[in-house]
């Protein structure tokens, strides 16, 4: 068994108690996590704005109910769509890459055309509450 004193991750003070404990107190743990979240929040805001804006552009082009639409790339360019930012990507069996923006995705259909698709979440297709 090690006799070395563990240091609190936040205040560097001694930590006593169970194995694996990394903070000296509930306060230190709470401040540490608060600051961690705040730092992430500040850094994420400008990128989140771009992602939200990109999704809004796709929503505007698609309208409320369409599930897919082919558009001229120039239309997306005109709306200042930022192709470099997306939430995740998927490559299909033919090697086509789908770039997601949350529940929407786009892929280069041709040099001038982009195919936009909407992925409906299964939860949204069901009623929120079961009807009697």
Considering only residues 27-86, where is the footprint of Zn ion by CB under 5 A?
Answer: 28
Q: Toward Zn ion, which CB reaches closer, 26 or 123?
A: 26
Q: To the nearest whole angstrom, how small is the minimum distance from the Cβ of residue 24 to Zn ion?
A: 3
How many residues of this chain bind Zn ion (CB under 5 A)?
6
In the chain, the N- to C-terminal Cα span, in Å, equals 61
Does residue 8 interact with Zn ion by CB under 5 A?
yes
Cα-based angle 19, 24, 30 (whole degrees, multiple of 5) = 110
Place of tokens 């068994």: 1
Sole window of 25-33, 59-67, 76-84, 115-123 interacting with Zn ion (rule: CB under 5 A): 25-33
Residue of the chain from 6, 13, 29, 59 that contacts Zn ion (CB under 5 A): 13
Distance CA 23, CA 118 (A): 45
Closest CA to 11 of 31, 39, 38: 31
**Cβ contact 11:30 at 8 Å:** no
Distance CA 120, CA 8 (A): 45
Q: To the nearest whole angstrom, how small is the minimum distance from the Cβ of residue 23 to Zn ion?
A: 6
Q: Toward Zn ion, which CB reaches closer, 22 or 44?
A: 22
Q: Would you mind telling me the total number of residues written for the chain in this entry?
A: 132
Sole window of 16-24, 36-44, 82-90, 93-101 interacting with Zn ion (rule: CB under 5 A): 16-24
Residue ranges that bind Zn ion, judged by CB under 5 A: 8, 10-11, 13, 24, 28
């Amino acid at each position: 068994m090690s006799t070395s004193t563990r240091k609190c991750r936040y205040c560097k003070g001694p930590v006593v108690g169970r194995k694996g404990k990394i903070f000296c107190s509930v306060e230190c743990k709470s401040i540490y996590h608060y600051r961690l979240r705040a730092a992430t929040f500040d850094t994420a805001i400008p990128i989140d704005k771009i992602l939200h804006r990109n999704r809004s552009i796709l929503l505007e082009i698609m309208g409320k109910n369409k599930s897919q639409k082919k558009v001229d790339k120039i239309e997306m360019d005109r709306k200042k769509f930022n192709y470099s930012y997306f939430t995740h990507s998927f490559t299909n069996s033919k090697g086509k890459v789908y770039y997601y923006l949350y529940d929407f995705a786009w892929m280069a259909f041709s040099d001038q055309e982009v195919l936009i698709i909407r992925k409906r979440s299964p939860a949204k297709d069901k009623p929120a509450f079961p009807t009697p």
